[in-house]
């Protein structure tokens, strides 16, 4: 895993295919140059998300950035 940076970003889910990929919208608070050293292909990330409903649950997994467009 790459050296972690203490950066947290909130993003919206666009779509996913279980076990294959997850597509997130680029954070609204960030412009393209603010996080260009963090959101780059190959960087490792930890994704955390909340599943809201009758029983709110928090999930997390680690992955790497495959593409930023």
Per-residue pLDDT tens over the stretch 43-64: 888 888 888 877 888 889 888 8
* % of the chain at pLDDT higher than 70: 86
pTM as predicted: 0.67
Q: Which residues of 10-47 are buried (b: 16+ CB within 10 A; e: fewer)?
A: ebeeeeeeeeeeeebebeeebeeeebeeebeeebebee
**CB 42, CB 67: distance < 8 Å:** no
């Amino acid at each position: 895993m790459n050296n972690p940076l203490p950066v947290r970003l909130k993003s919206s889910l666009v779509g996913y295919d279980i076990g294959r990929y997850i597509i997130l919208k680029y954070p609204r608070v960030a412009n393209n140059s603010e996080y260009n050293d963090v959101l780059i292909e190959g960087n490792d990330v930890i994704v955390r998300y909340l599943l809201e409903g009758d029983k709110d649950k928090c999930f997390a997994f680690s992955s790497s950035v495959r593409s930023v467009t």
